[in-house]
A = this chain, B = another copy of it.
């Protein structure tokens, strides 16, 4: 069994099925998730930077005390739903508190279609069922409850010195790294002071969830919640902070990788590595522009070592790269070094064809900074999924 958030001491998960999404097809997975902490827990959060924020985001932002857990649903994002949406988010928290027997406060998250009011009778049914099943949802089961167009549940787990960190995520489309980029719920049993917890989450998100893209669209509902149950004897201080942050980063990067791998219609993951930059910002800007380029993404789908598009995208970042200094590798093949390098196109095609993960590496030869970005290819399937999303 893959371990996730349910395997963190002090955490109990339950899932339920409310039938929230209007659909003819019967869903073969739950659509409601309840995560309860045995005792009130410190938490940290990172939210979407979209000007338009879904009701559960607005609601959760208002919570500053310890929480008793998280309640989440898939199938409806409760976004662009006005005052009624806010009342519904609050009601979800109340229902979670009531049926779990823990009372307020609960963090709330929703994912799914935008602009429709939550069917609250069915949401209540889902939460009630999830509460009845509390403790039964293990491994990948909690992650299954927050899937939408995801094709597999996403979990990660890591062990530190005397504590663990476990998490789940959902992603797939509308993925862009201008902050958190999907839903992800993480927990640790380490005792972490709120400021350190928030600092670690922000720093870890920056190089994981903020360094991936599927389609450059930023959702109204993105959030990452990190709970500290404190069930372990270990306390995180300035002493062991780096170690904790590294472990958290590892967990988040694993989840981020799975999100890109499951990008809508994706057949390949591409790791864009930009080295030799003057600043990290320059490296990030170049990597991001390449990662977002539809021309690069379709070329990857076609296994076409079209380095011209990659160089053009890098230049389009407008951060002062020097064409004549740039070296570009796809896999181990040097394709460009100020001008076309000497390579056999068929060999590079073969590498791209046979690899499910492609590495594109640019050395700008301007400095010593670097940044890595994950992206996926752009396929017919992406168009199909999104042109037919609601039909």
Contact = CB atoms under 8 A, between A and B. Distances in A.
A318 interface: yes
A52 B323 contact: yes
B294 A386 contact: yes
Interface string A138-153: 0000000000000000
A236 interface: no
Nearest to A292: B216
Contact of A301 (B178, B387, B391): B387
A326 to B, nearest CB: 8
Q: Which of under 10, 10 to 19, 20 to 34, or 35 or more describes the interface residues of A? A: 35 or more
Contacts of A309: 114, 174, 217
A115 interface: yes
B307 A115 contact: yes
A283 to B, nearest CB: 14
A113 to B, nearest CB: 7
Interface in A53-85: 53, 77, 79-85
Contact of A314 (B52, B308, B321, B378): B52
Interface of A: 49-53, 77, 79-85, 113-117, 173-174, 176, 178, 215-220, 292-295, 298-299, 301-302, 304, 306-309, 311-324, 336, 338-340, 378-380, 382-384, 386-391
Q: Which 9 A-B pairs have the closest CB atoms?
A: A114-B308, A52-B315, A302-B387, A82-B339, A298-B386, A51-B315, A218-B316, A115-B308, A50-B315
Given A51-B316, A304-B391, A383-B383, 15 more contacts: A50-B316, A50-B318, A52-B315, A52-B323, A53-B323, A79-B308, A80-B340, A114-B306, A115-B311, A216-B292, A218-B312, A299-B389, A302-B391, A306-B389, A380-B380
